[in-house]
Chains A and B, each alone.
Chain A
């Protein structure tokens, strides 16, 4: 299976295929790997590559995943090869949807339709796990649409606002 993997702003082509019990062949860019790979528990993998024993944890994170390796973590977005490469170059152009990163309740809406906002300016305040958190604008721009009102209960991924 082929994907485009975007990591630290760079996109790599990755091709991954299973060969028999727990053997995986992978190609990242032009580098080829054959590894033993076992899902020890869902999301926790043990890999053996050329006798290097590696434990790695993968967790979903809005449209991508977070990979934890040796106590350090990195976010990786996987997609179709072409869209991933395009996306990698695109950045935060056009209208950006600000979505709820977790389930919770909207405590305050800090902006109005048509307001101009700076990157990292608060859009709404959400309460989850007993903490109030400001959900911030990902870019400089203008608020196009507000999807919630004070008191709204939201699920992870619900639209909070659009910033153009």
Chain B
């Protein structure tokens, strides 16, 4: 079999770089990884066929440095570049720079990316193609007085959104005039820091909406299909935490309506590649176009589990100019999948990030489990990047069984050395409203407010926990702490000593 590309450079890191390497390998395509100084020895670097250092830890000097990545791709003799998600994946200048250097960018054209990348332009284009949008401004707000006037005309509450935004950055909820000025300032400064562009726009706040998104796939020849939906309403501060496929409220009628609307967005943008059209769905199941993500989505595995399609392979084939071998009737959804995003953060302490060395790691496996990660035992999770360390997905015949499988997988998941949000998922999965799929995008934030910070242990369980803590303490300190003033020993030294003492 002749591979469709001689070599693909992956302009990303972590679990998504690993995911892309896997698809390439199954298609016989050699891969080139890039890495920053913080990622020397990272899993994606170890797994790729070739690995190129591209600069220091800060992303601006490595994973976001367009000239370095283009030079590396040329030097590595790569034919195509896969941007993953985040970093340069939605940067039209990067897509253009690839094209200019004679490299195939595995994504849409720079122009459709630019169109959908401007949330304001995207809304305008979608609206022109008959896709329903949330009432609001179609232009960025330039002065604060104008913002107050517009807010009054569409009615509070409103949302401020970064025109170049995504991932919850540059986003503010505003209840009344008094909050507007500071919200504008914060949204602009966050947008400027995150996207280098401080333009923000106003949108009416839809009460208790669900976030449901449609996966699409389109080729260079005008063929496009929608590949079911994902329910992404379980979010913390606008960051998705748990996703499901299918959505528990979906009906075949609503799916085909939303699917057709998504395909209209594809037409409006003259889009090719895999993509995601995000909608808000209100309490009456009216849906509104939110934005289009012109890249592979973090939560794509649940769609793959339910449809049996490999979206990354389709991205590669589309980029190579192949025609889609799928018609709408070929898309069959089977069973239910759920995904938990494992973050290096501490749910018992305001979700503060928890970078550091992973001392123990035993992820779950077995029937119906998919685990995508970029970490391993002994790896130090850097402080410089996103805290997502793994995606755990389960598949079963029904939503209930998939949830039970997820509970099993989460109790199997052992990770030490850093804190993660794993225990939080078990609590959410046991919530009666979650079980009955009665939720909206505000569910998790409300749920968090009613939650106790620490879980209580009693009886034998508490004693066992204390014994384990004491065992850990005897291993990290060599003598009884005298008044607790003994300096904490370096875990590196302690580990070295343990390794030296371990019988081989």
B464 proximal to A (CB < 8 A) = yes
**A59-B417, A72-B457 as given contacts; A102 in contact with B470, CB under 8 Å:** no
A141 proximal to B (CB < 8 A) = no
Which chain A positions have C-beta within 8 A of B383? 102-104, 128-129
**A42-B360, A43-B416, A103-B383 as given contacts; A72 in contact with B455, CB under 8 Å:** yes
Instruction: Name which of A12, A24, A68, A128 has the most chain B CB atoms within 10 A of its CB.
Output: A68
Do A57 and B416 have beta carbons less than 8 Å apart? Answer: yes
Cα distance A16–B466 in the bound complex, in angstroms:
10
Output the least CB separation between B241 and chain A (Å): 14
Do A76 and B416 have beta carbons less than 8 Å apart? Answer: no
Which residue in chain B gives the minimum CB-CB distance to A70?
Answer: B411
Which DSSP category, helix, strand, loop or mixed, fits chain A's interface? strand
Do A33 and B359 have beta carbons less than 8 Å apart? Answer: no
A58 proximal to B (CB < 8 A) = yes
A2 proximal to B (CB < 8 A) = yes
Q: Of B346, B417, B467, which one neighbours A26 at CB under 8 angstroms? A: B467
Which chain B positions have C-beta within 8 A of A130? 385-387
Cα distance A101–B383 in the bound complex, in angstroms:
12
A161 proximal to B (CB < 8 A) = no
Do A58 and B464 have beta carbons less than 8 Å apart? Answer: no
Do A57 and B414 have beta carbons less than 8 Å apart? Answer: yes
Which chain B positions have C-beta within 8 A of A73? 348, 423, 455
**What are some 19 contacts across the A-B interface (CB < 8 A)?**
A1-B474, A2-B480, A16-B474, A26-B467, A31-B463, A39-B498, A42-B495, A43-B416, A44-B359, A44-B416, A61-B419, A70-B461, A71-B410, A71-B422, A71-B423, A74-B457, A75-B454, A79-B484, A131-B387
| Stretch binding the partner chain, chosen from B115-123, B205-213, B350-358 | B350-358
**A59-B416, A80-B483 as given contacts; A5 in contact with B466, CB under 8 Å:** yes
A56 proximal to B (CB < 8 A) = yes
Cα distance A15–B383 in the bound complex, in angstroms:
37
Cα distance A35–B483 in the bound complex, in angstroms:
28
Which chain B positions have C-beta within 8 A of A119? none
B456 proximal to A (CB < 8 A) = yes
Cα distance A104–B410 in the bound complex, in angstroms:
29
Which DSSP category, helix, strand, loop or mixed, fits chain B's interface? mixed
B362 proximal to A (CB < 8 A) = yes
Instruction: Name which of B353, B385, B474 has the most chain A CB atoms within 10 A of its CB.
Output: B353
Output the least CB separation between B487 and chain A (Å): 12
B1 proximal to A (CB < 8 A) = no
**A44-B362, A69-B457, A71-B423 as given contacts; A78 in contact with B348, CB under 8 Å:** no
B257 proximal to A (CB < 8 A) = no
Cα distance A71–B351 in the bound complex, in angstroms:
17
Cα distance A28–B498 in the bound complex, in angstroms:
26
**A72-B423, A103-B383, A129-B344 as given contacts; A80 in contact with B484, CB under 8 Å:** yes
A133 proximal to B (CB < 8 A) = yes
Task: List which A40-87 residues lie within 8 A (CB) of chain B.
Answer: 40-45, 47, 49, 54-61, 65-76, 78-80, 83
Do B464 and A69 have beta carbons less than 8 Å apart? Answer: yes
Cα distance A31–B483 in the bound complex, in angstroms:
25
Do B474 and A42 have beta carbons less than 8 Å apart? Answer: no
Cα distance A3–B481 in the bound complex, in angstroms:
8
Output the least CB separation between A23 and chain B (Å): 12
Cα distance A2–B454 in the bound complex, in angstroms:
25
Which residue in chain A gives the minimum CB-CB distance to B237?
Answer: A131
Top 6 A-B residue pairs of the complex, sorted by shortest distance between their CB atoms:
A43-B416, A44-B360, A41-B360, A129-B353, A42-B359, A58-B472
Which residue in chain B gives the minimum CB-CB distance to A6?
Answer: B466
Which chain A positions have C-beta within 8 A of B422? 68, 71
Which residue in chain A gives the minimum CB-CB distance to B167?
Answer: A130
Interface residues of B (CB under 8 A from A): 190, 344-346, 348-355, 359-362, 377, 383-387, 407, 410-411, 413-419, 422-423, 426, 454-457, 461-476, 480-484, 491, 495, 498
Output the least CB separation between B189 and chain A (Å): 10
Output the least CB separation between B234 and chain A (Å): 18
Cα distance A70–B476 in the bound complex, in angstroms:
23
Cα distance A58–B481 in the bound complex, in angstroms:
19
Which chain A positions have C-beta within 8 A of B355? 102-103, 128-129
Which chain A positions have C-beta within 8 A of B480? 1-2, 80
Which chain B positions have C-beta within 8 A of A39? 471, 475, 498
Cα distance A94–B469 in the bound complex, in angstroms:
28
Cα distance A161–B472 in the bound complex, in angstroms:
30
Instruction: Name which of A3, A18, A55 has the most chain B CB atoms within 10 A of its CB.
Output: A3
Known: A43-B472, A49-B464, A72-B426. 19 other contacts (CB 8 A): A12-B466, A24-B467, A33-B467, A41-B360, A45-B468, A45-B472, A47-B468, A61-B419, A65-B472, A69-B465, A70-B461, A71-B413, A75-B348, A75-B454, A80-B480, A101-B352, A102-B354, A102-B383, A131-B353
Q: Of B349, B360, B426, B481, which one neighbours A43 at CB under 8 angstroms? A: B360
Binary per-residue interface labels of chain A (104-140) against chain B in the complex, 1 for a CB within 8 Å, 0 otherwise: 1000000000000000000000001111111110000
Output the least CB separation between A19 and chain B (Å): 13
Output the least CB separation between A116 and chain B (Å): 21
Cα distance A104–B353 in the bound complex, in angstroms:
10
Do B362 and A5 have beta carbons less than 8 Å apart? Answer: no
